[in-house]
Structure 1
Amino acid sequence: MDDVTEPNEAVPWSLPSPWRDTRVAVVVPTYNEAGNIGDLAARVLALDLPRLRLVIADDDSPDGTGDLADDLAKQANAERPDSMLVLHRKVKEGIGRAHLAGMRQALALGDEYVVQMDGDLSHRPEYIPHLLGTILASRAGLVIGSRYVVGGSLSTDWGWHRRLLSRFAGRYVNAILNLSVRDPTGGFKIWRRDVLEGIGLDAIRSDGYSFQVEMNYRCKQLGHSIVELPIHFEERSTGSSKISFAVQVESMLTPFALRFGARRRPE
């Protein structure tokens, strides 16, 4: 399958009631995403999901992303109360910790489903109703927006080395953890509330991008099904990647730690 095509813009699904009235939170960690946050917020909040809440978890971005998000939230909440929330985290602990902070807030506010997505617009917000409709129809514990199932694709701006590394990472994770997921490192997902509660967010050990793998593994340990939905993965529009060498090392070691190490972080 050719996975580097450039499809047309995603068209949001129009969900029927009562599905469109589901309480869903969209959690977006940010660090230096001032060039993307405005477009992202506008596209998420424009979706025909009247009980959607956008949760930004900003790790004290030096470029002012957090302040800009505050301004956007003020405007959004004036039009529809409680539609956008900004968490200001004073320590940069990694994307996994930021996701967890946003998830905890969503659960505390009573949201029934939680979407994870990146803040760089590599994930098209228009797929959110697709994810929500799929998890409601399938009753899966988790639905992943997948680059590597039939119908999924990658931006042509991705170089061969990034494509190779991404494919290798998926095969590496599956070989150790036997997840049977084509895109186990993907970060565009939707979770059922009860699954997140069952996993126990305070017990998650991973800090960086390996957080995605650990969450998938915990979901499977609990016996929940995982469904993959094809998406097109964009190249980020502005800014630069945050994947450091230390993050890559953690990603290599985490599958072994999950399979052969201590089962959980102490409560």
Structure 2
Amino acid sequence: MKKVVILPTYNEIENIGPMIERVFGLPEPFDLLVIDDGSPDGTAGAVREAMEREEYAGRIHLIERAGKQGLGTAYIAGFRWALERGYDYVFEMDCDFSHDPADLIRLWRACADEGADMAIGSRYVTGVNVINWPIGRVIMSYYASAYVRRVLGMPVRDCTAGFVCFRAEVLRAIDFDRIRMRGYGFQIEMKYSAWKLSFRIVEVPIIFTDRTRGSSKMSSGIFGEAFWGVLKMRFRRIRRADREPGVKAVL
């Protein structure tokens, strides 16, 4: 039952230390893989310091990349890294505490105990569970998911959610080379791929709280990519790309 949480970071020096402590303080063990895109604020350096602490030995890992290369490419690099090392469950999570680390256990249990292949930490499955977002952003996010459901027919309430647990089997089946979107549309594309490949997806209700430290990475270009990408996705054939466990992945 090897579990790893992937944290893409860019300028998260205020959050990375507390996040490491919270994840490693959980009653269930999780490893951490931080993928830092050249943060000038020293985020990667803080991760390297944590890696030297005896109590974290072998549980924190770091991939450093040159410059901002997009959320999607960071996660794909992390997925390949995790599959190569034989992890059974792989998680996506933001580093800014908008996702509560304690909910990692709930997502994992939805897969390990309740039979889900992919568990989504959902803001909208039981209404609108968002704290401290401007109303305009809540409306945009909520109706973005409604738009995705209408265009793709995918029965997921929170299509853009970035808090997810995957069974390794799901990631082995998705052809990463055919994932087109690099921003938050990537989240839609991964869910759609899993759904089209007939994996069981469940939504676990969470409370999403906007960050209190650091700055958001959201931009209008991210929404534009997702809007047009969803239209194109509807006509794309989703093919299975089974990878055998233990086969070396190319980063």
Q: Take 1:131 and 1:210, find their aligned partners in 2: how far apart are those partners?
A: 21
Matched-pair contact (CA < 8 Å) for 2:154–2:195: yes
Matched-pair contact (CA < 8 Å) for 2:51–2:57: no
Q: Take 1:63 and 1:224, find their aligned partners in 2: how far apart are those partners?
A: 40
1:152-211: CA deviation from partner (whole Å, max 9, x where unpaired): 6111x1111011101110101111111111101110000000110001223321111100
Is there any run of 5+ residues in structure 1 with no aligned partner, and where? 1-21
Q: Does the alignment pair 1:186 with 2:161?
A: yes
Matched-pair contact (CA < 8 Å) for 1:152–1:230: no
Out of 196, 201, 207, the position equivalent to 1:221 is 196
- C-alpha distance 115-152 of structure 1, shift in aligned 2 (>3 A): farther
Deviation for aligned residue 1:151: 7.2
2:107 aligned partner: 131
1:57 aligned partner: 35
**RMSD value over aligned CA atoms?**
1.5
**What's the secondary structure of 1:249's corresponding residue?**
helix
Q: Take 2:49 and 2:177, find their aligned partners in 1: how far apart are those partners?
A: 30
1:99 aligned partner: 75
- C-alpha distance 80-69 of structure 1, shift in aligned 2 (>3 A): closer
1:250 aligned partner: 225
Deviation for aligned residue 1:246: 1.7
The share of aligned pairs that are identical, in percent, is 39
Aligned length: 239
2:10 aligned partner: 31
Is there any run of 5+ residues in structure 2 with no aligned partner, and where? 240-251
- 1:103-252 residue pairs with structure 2 within 5 A? 103-150=79-126, 153-155=129-131, 157-252=132-227
TM-score by length of structure 1 reads 0.86
Out of 20, 24, 48, the position equivalent to 1:70 is 48
User: Which runs of structure 1 show a deviation greater than 2 angstroms over 4 or more consecutive aligned residues?
Assistant: 200-203, 260-264
Q: Which amino acid aligns with 1:136?
A: A
